[in-house]
């Protein structure tokens, strides 16, 4: 007998209570948080979909591994285990641990970029963009055109625009030290990138003598989409697919808080000896000695085990299916989302859902506040608050106005998702009553994390 229900491929050994609040309490909590969900105490959130980063549940294997953590300053056993786990998947020569992804980005860009340089990417994540701009270089997003159409259902909307990549490299010869592809394309809807696209981008870069790096945060989810959607990969294991993805790159930055299945950690991995040397020197200055890079020995153990578990087929099937499950309910009930659902998150298309709120009144931010107010759900705006401010201080609407609901790994069950769907459908039924928001005060860089906001007309 072949049963069709895809189950959570684990049982639960430890539970963490979550707390209901009343709507009146949430109204007050929002006021106190300056209408910024980043500023809410987490215990006042019922279902927390702010991020899938560092919020996952570790396995018994990972917790057991942590007891083996070797806390030696130099040459710890845990480092070699970590290094072997990363090398098995990526094949890169130099493996540099960092405390999280953005530290790898800062070290790489700090060792490579000069003012006026350009970094092409399918879509930069916010910290990646900020780290490029911090070097007075330009972070240029060149996703395929279909990526900007949320409603279109295509298998690989995360792809980079190869013609635009070619053009950028020929027009600015000498000014592009590296090009990147982010798998999956987080800011572009969690959409996967095909193997063919990675391979072709790598060829373009090689031809121009430009380094090609992967932002590999969600490499395992990307590998699963390649397996299930790209011709010729159905019989390959996720590990083999991941190995092939990395084989086309000169290096990667990685946040182990995503597909490393750990609560903290990351790495930079690369082949170039001289560049690795510069990166390691910078690492010592700000993160730590190259065999721990700002992490405890037990963190390195947790990541080593996590990198193995994340490539299990039953895990990846459950992971991608549980996100698609929410996407299917919303689609069936007319809530506009980025199609098809991504690997780690469902993104509501707030521009389409709330046509009465213009970009200048931040529709996705307004919607994320409504989801918290009505149902205690925390999501995140990926729209004009996050990306609207330009390096010269001007404002430009973001490519899309999205509300991302990111699923922590192995944390919520199907009934949590059913509740979530109920809340979203309710908010959709009262959408005409939602108001836009304005920025009361905000810092110049990465303003979404700490901006104080207000409802319009309040
Ligand atoms: N690159 C991508 C594609 C990311 O999604 C993130 C983090 C980073 C780099 C930076 O890694 O957080 O370990 O420093 N994304 C999280 C998110 C924060 O919510 O999407 P980090």
Q: Choose which residue among 121, 216, 258 to substitute to test ligand 1 binding: the one with the highest number of ligand atoms within 8 A of its C-beta.
A: 258
- For residue 419, the model assigns a pLDDT of 97
Q: What is the DSSP letter of 395?
A: B
- Strand locations in 331-430 (E): 345-349, 377-378, 380-382, 402-406
Nearest atom of ligand 1 to the alpha carbon of 406: 19
Nearest CA to ligand 1 atom 21: 101
- For residue 31, the model assigns a pLDDT of 97
Mean pLDDT computed over 281-308: 97
For residue 448 and ligand 1, the question of a CB distance below 6 A is answered with no
Residues 106-160 have pLDDT tens digits of 999 999 999 999 999 999 998 999 999 999 999 999 999 998 889 999 999 999 9
* 446: number of Cβ within 10 Å: 15
| Six-digit token string for 384 | 């004009």
Distance CA 329, CA 418 (A): 9
Nearest atom of ligand 1 to the alpha carbon of 100: 13
Ligand 1 center to 75 CA (angstroms):
28
- For residue 87, the model assigns a pLDDT of 98
Q: Residue 229: pLDDT above 70?
A: yes
Which residues are 211's β-sheet partners?
Answer: 178
Which residues are 47's β-sheet partners?
Answer: 377
Nearest CA to ligand 1 atom 11: 101
Distance CA 403, CA 407 (A): 13
Ligand 1 center to 101 CA (angstroms):
6
Q: Residue 302: pLDDT above 90?
A: yes
Distance CA 152, CA 143 (A): 14
For residue 428 and ligand 1, the question of a CB distance below 6 A is answered with no
For the ranges 42-46, 169-173, 238-242, 454-458, which has the lowest average pLDDT? 454-458
Distance CA 265, CA 300 (A): 8
Q: Residue 1: pLDDT above 80?
A: no
Backbone angles phi, psi at 172, to 5 degrees: -125, 45
Ligand 1 center to 255 CA (angstroms):
6
For residue 218 and ligand 1, the question of a CB distance below 6 A is answered with no
Distance CA 339, CA 444 (A): 32
- For residue 377, the model assigns a pLDDT of 98
Contact by Cβ (8 Å): 105, 84: no
Residues 25-59 have pLDDT tens digits of 999 999 999 999 999 999 999 999 999 999 999 99
For residue 106 and ligand 1, the question of a CB distance below 6 A is answered with no
Nearest CA to ligand 1 atom 16: 53
Instruction: Give the closest residue to 158 by CA, choosing from 349, 343, 350.
Output: 343
Which residues are 348's β-sheet partners?
Answer: 337, 403
- For residue 390, the model assigns a pLDDT of 85
For residue 215 and ligand 1, the question of a CB distance below 6 A is answered with yes
Q: Residue 227: pLDDT above 90?
A: yes
Average pLDDT, the chain: 96
- Strand locations in 196-338 (E): 211-215, 251-255, 266-270
Q: What is the DSSP letter of 109?
A: H
For residue 186 and ligand 1, the question of a CB distance below 6 A is answered with yes
Distance CA 352, CA 74 (A): 54
Instruction: Give the closest residue to 171 by CA, choosing from 140, 132, 215.
Output: 140
Contacts of 39 (CB under 8 A, 6+ apart): 33, 450
| Six-digit token string for 87 | 């090398």
Q: Record the pTM.
A: 0.96
Angle, alpha carbons 175-181-184 (nearest 5°): 160
Judged by DSSP in three states, 454 sits in strand
Mean pLDDT computed over 344-370: 97
Nearest atom of ligand 1 to the alpha carbon of 127: 10
Distance CA 45, CA 40 (A): 8
Q: Choose which residue among 53, 122, 446 to substitute to test ligand 1 binding: the one with the highest number of ligand atoms within 8 A of its C-beta.
A: 53
Q: Residue 257: pLDDT above 70?
A: yes
Residues 71-83 have pLDDT tens digits of 999 999 999 999 9
Q: Residue 218: pLDDT above 80?
A: yes
Ligand 1 center to 217 CA (angstroms):
7
Ligand 1 center to 376 CA (angstroms):
24
Mean pLDDT computed over 418-445: 95
- For residue 321, the model assigns a pLDDT of 96
> Which structural domains are found in the chain, ordered by start?
23-52+312-455 (3.90.1150.10), 60-309 (3.40.640.10)
Instruction: Give the closest residue to 272 by CA, choosing from 178, 134, 363.
Output: 178
Handedness of CA 144, 147, 152, 154 (dihedral sign): positive
Distance CA 30, CA 373 (A): 8
Residues 84-105 have pLDDT tens digits of 999 999 999 999 999 999 999 9
- For residue 458, the model assigns a pLDDT of 67
Ligand 1 center to 352 CA (angstroms):
26
Q: How sure is the predictor about 392, in pLDDT bands with cuts at 50, 70 and 90?
A: confident
Q: In the chain, what percentage of residues exceed pLDDT 70?
A: 100
Q: How sure is the predictor about 259, in pLDDT bands with cuts at 50, 70 and 90?
A: very high
Nearest CA to ligand 1 atom 19: 51
Ligand 1 center to 70 CA (angstroms):
27
Ligand 1 center to 216 CA (angstroms):
10
Q: In the chain, what percentage of residues exceed pLDDT 90?
A: 93
Contact by Cβ (8 Å): 187, 124: yes
For the ranges 144-158, 312-326, 339-353, 386-400, which has the lowest average pLDDT? 386-400
Nearest atom of ligand 1 to the alpha carbon of 344: 20
Nearest atom of ligand 1 to the alpha carbon of 256: 13
Mean pLDDT computed over 261-286: 97
- For residue 242, the model assigns a pLDDT of 98
- For residue 305, the model assigns a pLDDT of 98
Q: Residue 350: pLDDT above 70?
A: yes
Distance CA 187, CA 312 (A): 26
- For residue 457, the model assigns a pLDDT of 81
Distance CA 243, CA 87 (A): 10
- For residue 301, the model assigns a pLDDT of 98
């Amino acid at each position: 007998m072949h049963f069709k229900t895809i189950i959570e491929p684990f049982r639960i050994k430890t539970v963490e209570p979550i707390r209901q609040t009343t709507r009146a309490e949430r109204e007050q909590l929002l006021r106190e948080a300056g209408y910024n969900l980043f500023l809410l105490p987490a215990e006042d959130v019922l279902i927390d979909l702010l991020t899938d980063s560092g919020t996952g549940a570790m396995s018994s294997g990972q917790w057991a591994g942590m007891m083996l953590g070797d806390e030696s300053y130099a040459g710890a056993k845990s480092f070699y285990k970590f290094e072997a786990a990363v090398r098995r998947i990526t094949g890169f020569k130099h493996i540099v641990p960092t405390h999280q992804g953005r530290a790898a980005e800062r070290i790489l860009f700090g060792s490579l970029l000069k003012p006026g340089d350009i970094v092409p990417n399918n879509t930069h994540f916010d910290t990646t963009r900020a780290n490029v701009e911090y070097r007075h270089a330009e972070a240029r997003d060149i996703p395929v055109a279909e990526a900007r159409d949320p409603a279109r259902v295509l298998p690989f909307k995360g792809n980079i625009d190869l013609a635009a990549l070619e053009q950028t490299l020929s027009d600015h010869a000498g000014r592009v030290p590296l090009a990147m592809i982010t798998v999956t394309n987080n800011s572009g809807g969690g959409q996967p990138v095909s193997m063919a696209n990675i391979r072709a981008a790598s060829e373009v870069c090689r031809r121009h003598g430009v380094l090609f790096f992967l932002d590999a945060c969600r490499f395992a989810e990307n590998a699963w989409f390649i397996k299930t959607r790209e011709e010729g990969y159905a019989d390959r294991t996720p590990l083999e697919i991941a190995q092939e993805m990395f084989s086309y790159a000169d290096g990667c930055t990685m946040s182990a808080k995503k597909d490393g299945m750990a609560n903290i950690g990351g790495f930079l991995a690369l082949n170039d000896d001289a560049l690795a040397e510069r990166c390691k020197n910078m690492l010592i200055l700000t993160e730590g000695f190259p065999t721990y890079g700002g992490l405890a020995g037990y963190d390195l153990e947790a990541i080593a085990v996590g990198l193995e578990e994340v490539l299990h087929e039953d895990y990846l099937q459950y992971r991608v299916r549980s996100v698609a499950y929410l996407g299917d309910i919303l689609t069936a009930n007319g809530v506009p989302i980025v199609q098809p659902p991504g690997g780690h998150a469902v993104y509501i298309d707030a521009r389409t859902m709330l046509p009465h709120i213009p970009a200048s009144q931040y529709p996705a931010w307004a919607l994320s506040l409504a989801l918290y107010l009505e149902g205690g759900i925390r999501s995140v705006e990926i729209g004009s608050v996050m990306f609207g401010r330009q390096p010269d201080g001007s404002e430009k609407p973001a490519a899309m106005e999205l509300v991302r609901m990111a699923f922590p790994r192995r944390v919520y069950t199907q009934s949590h998702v059913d509740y979530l769907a109920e809340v979203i459908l309710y908010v959709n039924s009262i959408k005409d009553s939602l108001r836009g928001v304005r920025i009361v005060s905000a810092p110049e860089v990465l303003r979404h994390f700490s901006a104080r906001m207000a409802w319009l007309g309040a």
